[in-house]
Structure 1
Amino acid sequence: MALGTPATVALTTAGISFTPHAYEHDAANRNFGEEAASALGLDPEQVFKTLLADVDGRLVVAIVPVTGKLDLGALAAAIGGKRAGMADPKVAERKTGYVVGGISPIGQKTRLTTVLDETAELFDTVFVSGGRRGFDIEIAPADLTEVTGAIIAAIARD
């Protein structure tokens, strides 16, 4: 499973170190990030969810802790935009090549502007989706920033 997703292939190709973590996904659970934190016995603040937003007609990836919510205004401001709203899930799936609940910020079909919440820098490693439900990747925030080309900004709120 470690090399079975576009995310792991992209990381391996780039020579970036990561640790795969698989867990049993409950198909009835729609709180994917919280499920990952619980199943893997992690501090939920160290587990990040990948969300897609529409900022002034442009699709943008936002990576925020599962314990918080995306601040759409802060996301728009971080990339010089004015208005932001959540992207249609079908559009998100089509543009990233992943299914909702398994969207990884890494190895997406279309390279999109990406913003990582600044709290990621509080940890030596963070956990993000590995590209399928029930599979997370542990990665250093600097490596996540490098592989996604992410901007670091305060985009999460409680």
Structure 2
Amino acid sequence: MSKTTRATQLLSQAGVAFTVHAYDYDPNAERVGLQAAEALGEAPRRVLKTLMAEVDGKPVCVVVPSDREVSMKKLASAFHGKSANMMKPADAGGISPFGQKKTVPTAIEEAALAEPLVYINGGQRGLQVRLDPKHALKALKAVAAPLIA
């Protein structure tokens, strides 16, 4: 597994301190984020999942703790929209919020900013980057908002 991805390149170029953590990805896991947390030996609130959604028909990226669900009402509000829905997995693809081919607006669950370090997808399955969530927020030019149901 390569530990250099578009995600890690973006973080390095932005001067963000991070460490890379590989784990045994289980494609059959019922909830991939929780499987990652267990494989890394971390609390699910510190292993953030990245989801793609649409607000008023426009794509957005959402980063929330792996054990929580996104509130569509709160998500729409975070982007000053009227409605939100999750993208179909086939349309969303493999997801890291860092180094996306086409950058889209991103929101991070504000409760995650209370953690000293979090894990976020590092650009390929079975690869996470561990970093200060405030640095992730800045690197992504993301908004912090209440997003979970």
Structure 2 residue 134 is the aligned partner of structure 1 residue 147: no
Determine helix, strand or coil for the equivalent of 2:27. coil
**Shift in Å, 1:142:** 1.2
Structure 2 counterpart of 1:96: none
1:91 Cα shift?
2.5
Equivalences for residues 9-88 of structure 1 within 5 A: 9-88=9-88
Unaligned stretches of 5+ residues in structure 1: 94-98
Task: Name the structure 2 match of 1:115.
Answer: 107
Instruction: Give the TM-score, by structure 1 length.
Output: 0.89
Q: What TM-score, normalized by structure 2, do the two folds share?
A: 0.94
CA distance in 2, matches of 1:43, 1:90: 28
Runs of 4+ off more than 2 Å: 88-91
Where in structure 2 are there 5+ consecutive unaligned residues?
Answer: none
Question: Aligned partners of 2:130 and 2:62: how far apart in 1?
Answer: 17
Give the 3-state SS of the residue equivalent to 1:155 in structure 2: coil
Whole-Å separation in 1 of the counterparts to 2:82 and 2:122: 31
Q: Give the whole-Å Cα distance in 2 for the aligned partners of 1:107 and 1:4.
A: 11
Q: Which residue type is aligned with residue 69 of structure 1?
A: E
Secondary structure at the residue paired with 1:132?
coil
Q: How much is the aligned-residue C-alpha RMSD, in angstroms?
A: 1.3
Q: Is the 8 A contact 1:44 1:67 kept in 2?
A: yes
SS of the residue corresponding to residue 8 of structure 1 reads: helix
Identical-pair percentage: 38
State the aligned residue count: 149
Alignment partners' CA distance in 1, 2:53 and 2:116: 27
> In the aligned structure 2, how far is the partner of 1:142 from the partner of 1:80?
22
